[in-house]
Amino acid sequence: MGEEGTGRELDSAIEQFSRYLLSARNASRETVRAYRREVSDLRDFLSETGRTMFAPGGAGWWKSVSVADLRRYLAARFPGRKGSTMARKIAALRSFFSFLVTRGEIPGNPAIGVTAPRRSMRLPEFLPVDEMMDLLRSLSPEGEAGRRDAAILELLYSSGLRVGELVSLRRKDVLLEEGTVRVLGKGRKERIVPVGEKALQALSKYLAEGARAGTRDGEEEWEGVLFRNLRGGALSARSVARILEKALERAGIGRHLSPHGIRHSFATHLLESGADLRAIQEMLGHASLSTTQRYARVNVSHLVRVYEESHPRAAKPASSRKAAHPGRRRDRS
């Protein structure tokens, strides 16, 4: 069999893996695209370095891939990448080779022998409550784009949606009378999330203006995507990030924040207000409570900072105490 035929069969193995992720694993299309990209890049690297001469013939071609091959690939393609990036790439490769093992195509999973770099623990980015309120108050819901942008940012903060979940929403997913939104999250798991009053008002204005414009018939509008660009197509995650960037600039907030940072702000503010961690987990759609507990670390760091800045018995340098409490009256109760 020639090399061209081998390439087609190798592509077939990747195609079967993609279908497996969609059907058996219920992976999102974004995850499937990412995993497919990682495996295809590995295939290209191995082909470039002459590995196509070993054991050609469909998925069986992968029998020749060793732990050393994978380490060379990662070192050559991604030198100096941070731990979280490498961990995602290794996870994709492990999943692919595990799929081939399950199908009996290869005897063992070589990616098991590749250790991911230790991930650094980063606290999630978020805005303090006062800055988040400044951001939302600065929104100008004038015109079609203004009403859409206000509805987007209000909904992100009100319900803690992932940006991918937000741009995938359809009109029928928003239940204004019930004050909820139906979300299809990771693994195609559906959840119902409450929507706050301000977000409901912003959504009502946005939807009412669209209905008056009469750009789509009733059935198409009900089934179609909720947030559209000015050309009528589905809004992208990158477009939402640009909308947020402009809103931050307009509000005079001099820091970077991604749409995911609004989700972190939602969770952190709920936790600081005393909300139950399990309830936050359900609203965020986290499969594991350990993921939600990242926000507990944010909360603890916030409490420590408040304690150190405010408590009269907190240890501070003398200069700091003098600067912080000039003539302050203390409540002795």
Q: Which helix (H) or strand (E) holds 194?
A: strand 190-194
Q: What pLDDT does residue 246 have?
A: 95
- For the chain, domains (ranges, CATH) are 3-113 (1.10.150.130), 129-302 (1.10.443.10)
Q: Which of 293, 297, 292, 273 is nearest to 282 (CA)?
A: 292
Q: Which of 33, 286, 266, 271 is nearest to 183 (CA)?
A: 286
Mean pLDDT for the stretch of residues 157-172: 93
pLDDT band at 152 (very low <50, low <70, confident <90, very high): very high
Q: What pLDDT does residue 322 have?
A: 43
Q: Answer whether residue 187 shows pLDDT above 90.
A: no
- Decide which of 110 and 288 is more confident: 110
Across-strand partners of 180?
175, 194
Q: Answer whether residue 46 shows pLDDT above 60.
A: yes
Q: Round the CA-based radius of gyration of the chain to a whole number and report it.
A: 25
Mean pLDDT for the stretch of residues 173-196: 90
The DSSP code for 51 is G
Query: 99-128, pLDDT tens digit by residue?
Result: 999 988 888 999 998 877 665 556 668 899
Mean pLDDT for the stretch of residues 164-186: 92
Mean pLDDT for the stretch of residues 219-247: 87
Query: 54-110, pLDDT tens digit by residue?
Result: 444 455 578 888 899 898 988 888 776 666 778 888 999 999 999 999 988 888 999
Q: What pLDDT does residue 219 have?
A: 54
pLDDT band at 155 (very low <50, low <70, confident <90, very high): very high
Query: 295-307, pLDDT tens digit by residue?
Result: 777 776 766 666 6
Average pLDDT across the chain, whole number: 81
235-238: list long-range contacts, CB under 8 Å, 24+ apart: 235/152, 235/167, 236/167, 237/163, 237/164, 237/167
Active-site amino acid positions? 162, 186, 260, 263, 286, 295
Range in 2-6, 153-157, 272-276 with the lowest mean pLDDT: 2-6
Q: What pLDDT does residue 23 have?
A: 86
Q: Answer whether residue 243 shows pLDDT above 70.
A: yes
